[in-house]
Amino acid sequence: MTISKEESGKTSTPQDTGRRRFLASSAVAGLAGASLSLGLAACNKGGGEATTAATGNAGSGASGANATPAIDWDKYEVHPGKLDTYYGFSSGGHSGDLRVHGLPSGREIRRVPVFNVDCMSGWGITNESRKIIGTRPNGQLNYITGDTHHVHMSYTDGVYDGRYIFVNDKINARVARVRLDTMECDAITQLPNVQGFHGIFPDKRDPLDDKINSTTRVFCGAEFHTPQPNDGRDLNDPKKYFCLFTCLDAKTMQPRWQVKVDGNMDLVATSYDGKLACSNQYNTENGVHYEDMMSAERDACVFFNVARIEAAVKAGKFFHIGNSTVPVVDGTHEASADPKTALTCYVPVPKNPHGVNISPDGKYYACAGKLSPTATVISHELMLKWFDGEIKDPRDAVVAEPEIGLGPLHTGFNGKGFVYTTLFLDSQIVKWDLAAAMKSYQGDKDAKVVVDRVDVHYQPGHGFTSMGETREPDGQFFISDNKFSKDRYLPVGPLHPDSSQLIDISGEKMVIVGDHPLYPEPHDSIMVRRDIIKTRQIYDLNEFPLAVKAMKDCRVERQGRKVTVYLTSQAPVFGLREWTVKKGDEVTIILTNLDKVEDLTHGFAIPFYNINFVVHPQQTQSVTFIADKPGVYWCYCTNFCHALHLEMRSRMLVQA
């Protein structure tokens, strides 16, 4: 089977062609073998010619795409000393963190540790961070692994409010909240009875504010179906496995309710009016092996009627699973047979879809085909009509299903009627016209759906537009987060960095204007106007109940074998020059940074004790450990703070 786009009339350099061929075929062979080819062949049965037609159309429509347009590089270059115009927030994937970039430069300006342990900051080492991550009775962290996929900001009336980022942990079914004023994680919650927690999206409507009685929700999909509860029962009886869709309260970070779902969930999207949330499903078959998961010709995009679910919970129509106290309502096909009372609606879409995204005007959901070369456009208004019983067949809510290319995964909108979708197998971004797609679906053969394509390097996963997931899309940039970079950067051993490519979408043609290597592996990101983010540089001493408010308060207190060391830092000294404990003591060090100068962070490390953390201006952090090794230990400052930084030391004397 040929999947290379060169056949479709688009030119590229000979060198380019060979490389792209290799990537395209290795992707098919490597990812799903013959079965994927079969899947694509099956799609082509229905629309292979149409694909060629659409591609051909794009080829002629985009004939100038390969004629290099004159690029005004100054527009995208951020000169030394100048600031970027956007923040980019990215998940770190299996590194378990969250990254912050300046855009368009692509400069990494912060890594926020979330589900990982980080010895720069002391995340996972300080008592404060360990409390957020959670510990076991033996004192060890609950988990030291995480896999962040999706990052989304809290909203007020459909626009980012700059307050929080929510991010998922796929491995251990956790949601983290990161406060954006300090860019630190302040809460982590594990979802009950969920495995493979993948898609996450907050409510876009309600502000998260005490004064107006916030109802902000965070919606969470579950990808892996399991026995419920997963306690050893029904181990090899997959017919009894199922998945739960979870709604979390954004303020308390506690689950409010869950929905029992047929099939699985992958990505999640929410409407702008707070009425619906939805998730694409690639395993409606409830298969346990990949070939089972792609056996049906169609899967689904499942919609959740938020108000009805909450009414059902209020009316007591729920059950519990295992020890969990979270109410679970029934959103299976069977329970949702009558649209007028249904909690869910399963809209059939071509097999094994991937991302689902909503247009900034709140009118359309685009569900990308993955194994089908299509995107399915579902009307929000018609979905609401289905729930009102005004239309019968959920497929009648579909208003377009254009053929756009091979391996469509994720979609961004420019707010002006154009849609940009990543094509994993084609290694392209395709730009298509939403109105034309709807006309074409109505039978208009002249409708020109695909208007441009651009090669990316290589195999794009997520793609998103600047401010494109808000009511204020600016149509300036699209970022293609590519899974492979191969020859784009200096080789660094077996694993190449991932690559994020910045594409200017403000004109008719897409133009790649930046290549940024990324430490593996960001999945999803958002691109946010910089005026939305307001950070603080200095903490307030009073925020910390344990604060040691003056150098004269430094002391050592003993209660039996428990020793507390009250310590301050103020460049270039710690508040105690030395202190003495006995072997076997449980030592807690409380360290307050009394410096008030922006950026004057001190570090604190104890050799051979696994202690390493920082305290920012006016912040207090603490650590607890057993002083099990007698000797002299130089506790030193790890963060270069002063001309006498190296001299900034104190001694811990551990008596035998």
- Other beta carbons less than 10 A from residue 31's beta carbon: 14
Min dist CB 39 to Ca ion, Å, is 9
Distance CA 531, CA 305 (A): 34
Residue nearest to ligand K7E (CB): 461
Question: Which listed option, Ca ion, ligand CUA, ligand K7E, none, makes contact with residue 645 (CB within 5 to 8 Å by class)?
Answer: ligand CUA
Contact between 461 and ligand K7E by CB under 6 A: the answer reads yes
Three-class HEC string of 214-278 = CCCEEEEEEEECECCCCCCCCCCCHHHCEEEEEEEECCCCCEEEEEEECCCCCCEEECCCCCEEE
> What residues contact residue 501 under an 8 Å CB cut-off, 6+ apart?
456, 457, 479, 480, 482, 512, 514, 515, 516
Site for Ca ion in 344-363 (CB under 5 A): 352
Taking the complex as a whole, how short is the minimal distance between the CB of residue 593 and ligand CUA, in angstroms? 9
Q: Does 174 bind ligand K7E (CB under 6 A)?
A: no
d(CA 402, CA 410): 15
Dihedral angle computed from the Cα positions of residues 529, 534, 537 and 539, in that order, rounded to the nearest 10 degrees = -150
- Does residue 40 contact residue 34 with C-beta atoms inside 8 Å? no
The partner in contact with residue 352, picked from ligand K7E, Ca ion, ligand CUA, none with C-beta cut-offs of 5 to 8 angstroms by kind, is Ca ion
Contact partners, residue 449, CB within 8 Å, separation at least 6: 54, 57, 402, 403, 404, 432, 433, 436, 437, 440
> Which residues between 198 and 217 bind ligand K7E (CB under 6 A)?
198
What is the x/- site pattern for ligand K7E, positions 342-381, by CB under 6 A?
A: ------------xx--------------------------
Please say which residue, 371 or 382, places its beta carbon nearer to ligand K7E. 371
| Binds 648: which of Ca ion, ligand CUA, ligand K7E, none (CB < 5-8 Å by kind) | ligand CUA
Contact by Cβ (8 Å): 380, 364: yes
* Residue 320 contact, options ligand CUA, ligand K7E, Ca ion, none, Cβ 5-8 Å cut-off depending on partner type: none
Q: Does 299 bind Ca ion (CB under 5 A)?
A: yes
Task: Evaluate whether 463 touches 480 at the Cβ level (below 8 Å).
Answer: yes
- CA–CA distance, 123 with 144 (Å, rounded to integer): 11
Residue 76 CB, shortest distance to ligand K7E, in Å, is: 25
Instruction: Kindly state the smallest distance separating residue 327's Cβ from ligand K7E, in Å.
Output: 28
Question: Whole-angstrom distance between the N-terminal and C-terminal Cα of the chain?
Answer: 73
- Work out what residue 529 binds among ligand K7E, ligand CUA, Ca ion, none; the CB cut-off runs from 5 to 8 Å by kind: none
Q: Which two tokens stand for residue 646?
A: 């190296």
* Nearer of residues 111 and 602 to ligand CUA, judged by Cβ: 602
Name the residue nearer to ligand CUA (CB basis): 208 or 615: 615
Query: What span, in angstroms and rounded, lies between the C-alpha atoms of 649 and 256?
Result: 49
Is residue 92 a contact point for ligand K7E (CB under 6 A)? no
Q: List contacts with ligand CUA (CB under 6 A).
A: 571, 602, 637, 639-642, 645, 648
Among 225, 260, 523, 529, binds ligand K7E (CB under 6 A): 523
Four-point Cα dihedral 392, 395, 396, 401, nearest 10: 180
CB of 4 to ligand K7E, least distance (A): 21
Q: Token pair of 221, please?
A: 């999909």
Asked whether position 279 contacts Ca ion by CB under 5 A, the answer is no
- The interface partner of residue 462, options being ligand K7E, ligand CUA, Ca ion, none and the CB cut-off 5 to 8 Å by kind, is ligand K7E
- Binding partner of residue 640 among ligand K7E, ligand CUA, Ca ion, none, CB cut-off 5 to 8 Å per kind: ligand CUA
Of these, 43, 259, 312, 409, which contacts ligand K7E (CB under 6 A)? Answer: 409
Minimum distance between the CB of residue 193 and Ca ion, rounded to whole angstroms? 23
- Nearest alpha carbon to residue 621 among 608, 639, 633, 634: 639
Summarize as ranges the residues that interact with ligand K7E (CB under 6 A): 149-150, 198, 267, 354-355, 409-410, 461-462, 523-524
